[in-house]
């Protein structure tokens, strides 16, 4: 059926089947090996035993006064042991009451006996596997015959016991396999359930790592993921609340003044003033929306970057011309420190970084304190752009979170001038997209220092 998920066997079932299969294969191999070894040992033992009996019977007959006739006691002993006895007359005739012995003895056997020798054989007669031992005695010979089934009865019993033990072992292995499979699968099922719960929005997931190290690592990873998601979503909620607050403040001012203008309660001399306030708040809204869009584009990795060799000295001088007037208007001194520096980067994006850092520094730098815009080449060859200020600066703890969105905004809102909380985050993302780095530190002027390092480039002067 279209869209139907394929059915898959459970891990516990597969492990159990694997354990059972291994146990069965091992049992079959062990059975075959045991049966072969036991039967081979029984065969050797039976033939050796029959050979010793034949030699003993030969001695007994040789000492008998009757010559070729064995003693009655010897015959009775052999009969009790399941051994059939035959005599070979001097004429070569086989004298026995057992047709099986008569059929088993061949002319070659008789010839060996008549020649004063002996023979030992293992052959199948009338569908029965038998052992034969022949010995020459005075005036003829003797032949002993024993069926394999009689000779190896104890071995067959041992084989049956071994097979029963192997079957029991296979059963135990199957039970152990099932228990091990359930033990391994249980924490994995719990982890899967926890992952589904995370997908449904639950964040209070806390798995107890258990089982083998690899399975426990999966549970630990899910716990870490749940904690990270919870923290990330909490930060997103805080960020949205912060942005909502920043949007609501200028919107409230714009709405209030617009209603006043619409109702005609604003005196004519103040219309221009009210219009200026509305324009300023609208521009503030535009900056906030622009920051949000820039940050979204940077997160989505669709921010356009056009790389080329850039003279940072010219870029810094151009930026200083713009910011010098703004600094003088608020009583802040702008200093420009330049040394030869060239970067392989996007000039517009570097200017955006400088403007963002200058905006941040100008906001917190008091009247009479300096702001320094510097460019240089680092000893490792990288190009460097730096903004330092004489503002209140940052604490050691601030330095570690300076580029997290809204982190400093949340810490210093209501304490000192703050922006949208997104400017430094945008600068950090821009520097990273340009293949560079940015760090925050303490400035010798008493405030904060922000240093951007970019890949170096070689500028070729026109001759």
The CA distance from 228 to 68, in Å, is 102
Neighbours of 325 (CB within 10 A): 9
User: pLDDT for 137-155, tens place per residue?
Assistant: 877 888 899 888 877 766 6
* Cβ neighbours of residue 131 closer than 8 Å, sequence gap 6 or more: 46, 47, 50, 121, 122, 145, 146, 147, 148, 151
9 Rama sector, left if φ>0, alpha if ψ -120 to 50, beta otherwise: beta
Place of tokens 């007037």: 325
For the chain, the average pLDDT equals: 80
Would you say residue 120 has pLDDT above 80?
yes
Identify whether the C-beta of residue 387 lies closer than 8 Å to the C-beta of residue 336. Answer: no
The predicted model gives 356-385 an average pLDDT of 92
Would you say residue 416 has pLDDT above 70?
no
User: pLDDT for 234-267, tens place per residue?
Assistant: 766 656 655 665 566 567 778 888 888 888 887 8
Helices (H) and strands (E) in the chain, counts: 13, 12
The predicted model gives 354-382 an average pLDDT of 91
Domains of the chain: 12-155 (3.30.450), 215-299 (1.10.287.130), 308-454 (3.30.565.10)
Identify whether the C-beta of residue 399 lies closer than 8 Å to the C-beta of residue 408. Answer: no
Would you say residue 279 has pLDDT above 60?
yes
Q: What does each C-alpha distance from 127 to 44, 122, 143, 448 come to in angstroms?
A: 21, 13, 20, 106
Neighbours of 100 (CB within 10 A): 16
Would you mind telling me the total number of residues written for the chain in this entry? 463
Q: Give the per-residue pLDDT at 8.
A: 59
Please give the residue that has the higher pLDDT: either 359 or 419: 359
Q: Give the per-residue pLDDT at 11.
A: 64
At residue 217 the predicted structure's pLDDT band, cuts being 50, 70 and 90, is: confident
Q: Give the per-residue pLDDT at 303.
A: 61
Q: Give the per-residue pLDDT at 68.
A: 41
Please give the residue that has the higher pLDDT: either 282 or 19: 282
Q: How many CA atoms lie within 13 A of 179 on its CB side?
A: 6
User: pLDDT for 42-99, tens place per residue?
Assistant: 788 888 888 888 888 877 776 654 444 445 667 777 777 778 888 888 888 888 888 8
Q: Give the per-residue pLDDT at 70.
A: 47
Please give the residue that has the higher pLDDT: either 169 or 393: 393
Would you say residue 402 has pLDDT above 70?
yes
Please give the residue that has the higher pLDDT: either 455 or 263: 455
Pairing of strands 342-345, 308-311: antiparallel
Radius of gyration of the chain (CA): 51
The CA distance from 185 to 435, in Å, is 46
At residue 12 the predicted structure's pLDDT band, cuts being 50, 70 and 90, is: low
Q: Give the per-residue pLDDT at 235.
A: 64
Q: Give the per-residue pLDDT at 248.
A: 67
User: At 280, which helix (H) or strand (E)?
Assistant: helix 271-299
Identify whether the C-beta of residue 278 lies closer than 8 Å to the C-beta of residue 262. Answer: no
Would you say residue 33 has pLDDT above 90?
no
The predicted model gives 269-278 an average pLDDT of 82
Coil, helix or strand for 307? Answer: coil
The CA distance from 161 to 157, in Å, is 6
The predicted model gives 200-208 an average pLDDT of 78
Partnered with residue 163 across adjacent β-strands are: none
Residue from 296, 292, 298 nearest 430 by CA? 298
Q: Give the per-residue pLDDT at 252.
A: 75
Q: Give the per-residue pLDDT at 292.
A: 67
Q: Give the per-residue pLDDT at 390.
A: 92
Identify whether the C-beta of residue 418 lies closer than 8 Å to the C-beta of residue 409. Answer: yes
Would you say residue 462 has pLDDT above 50?
no
Please give the residue that has the higher pLDDT: either 164 or 314: 314
Q: Give the per-residue pLDDT at 377.
A: 95
Among the residue ranges 68-72, 291-295, 416-420, the one predicted with the least confidence is 68-72
The CA distance from 34 to 158, in Å, is 10
Q: Give the per-residue pLDDT at 333.
A: 93
Would you say residue 420 has pLDDT above 90?
no
Q: Give the per-residue pLDDT at 241.
A: 58
């Amino acid at each position: 059926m279209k869209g139907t998920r394929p059915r898959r066997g459970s891990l516990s079932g597969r492990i159990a089947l694997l354990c059972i299969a291994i146990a069965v294969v091992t049992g079959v191999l062990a059975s075959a090996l045991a049966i072969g070894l036991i039967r081979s040992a029984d065969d050797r033992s039976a033939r050796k035993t029959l050979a010793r009996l034949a030699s003993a019977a030969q001695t007994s007959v040789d000492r008998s006064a009757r010559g070729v006739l064995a003693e009655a006691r010897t015959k009775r002993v052999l009969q009790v042991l399941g051994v059939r006895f035959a005599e070979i007359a001097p004429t070569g005739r086989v004298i026995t009451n057992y047709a099986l012995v008569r059929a088993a003895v061949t002319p070659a056997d008789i010839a060996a006996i008549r020649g004063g020798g002996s023979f030992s054989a293992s052959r199948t007669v009338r569908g029965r596997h038998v052992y034969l031992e022949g010995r020459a005695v005075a005036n003829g010979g003797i032949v002993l015959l024993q069926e394999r089934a009689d000779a190896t009865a104890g071995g067959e019993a041992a084989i049956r016991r071994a097979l029963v033990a192997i079957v029991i072992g296979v059963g135990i292995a199957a039970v152990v396999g099932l228990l091990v499979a359930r033990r391994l699968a249980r924490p994995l099922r719990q982890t899967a359930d926890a992952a589904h719960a995370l997908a449904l929005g639950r964040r209070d997931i806390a798995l107890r790592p258990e089982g083998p190290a690899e399975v426990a690592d999966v549970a630990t990873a899910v716990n870490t993921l749940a904690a990270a998601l919870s923290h990330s979503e909490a930060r997103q909620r805080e960020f949205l609340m912060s942005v909502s607050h920043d949007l609501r403040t200028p919107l409230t001012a714009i709405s209030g003044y617009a209603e006043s203008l619409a109702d005609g309660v604003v005196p004519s001399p103040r219309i221009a003033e009210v219009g200026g306030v509305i324009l300023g708040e609208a521009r503030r809204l535009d900056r906030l929306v622009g920051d949000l869009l820039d940050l979204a584009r940077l997160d989505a990795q669709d921010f356009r970057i056009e790389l080329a060799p850039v003279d940072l000295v010219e870029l810094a001088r151009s930026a200083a011309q713009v910011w010098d007037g703004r600094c003088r208007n608020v009583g802040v001194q702008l200093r420009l420190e330049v040394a030869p520096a060239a970067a392989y980067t996007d000039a517009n994006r570097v200017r955006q970084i400088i403007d963002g850092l200058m905006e941040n520094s100008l906001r917190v730098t008091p009247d009479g304190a300096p702001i320094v815009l510097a460019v240089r080449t680092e000893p490792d060859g990288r190009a460097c752009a730096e903004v330092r200020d004489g503002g209140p600066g940052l604490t050691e703890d601030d330095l570690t979170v300076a580029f997290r969105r809204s982190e400093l905004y949340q810490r210093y809102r209501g304490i000192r001038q703050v922006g949208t909380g997104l400017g430094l985050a945008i600068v950090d993302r821009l520097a990273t997209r340009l293949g560079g780095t940015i760090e925050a530190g303490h400035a010798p002027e008493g405030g904060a220092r922000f240093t951007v390092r970019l890949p170096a480039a070689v500028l070729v002067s026109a001759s």
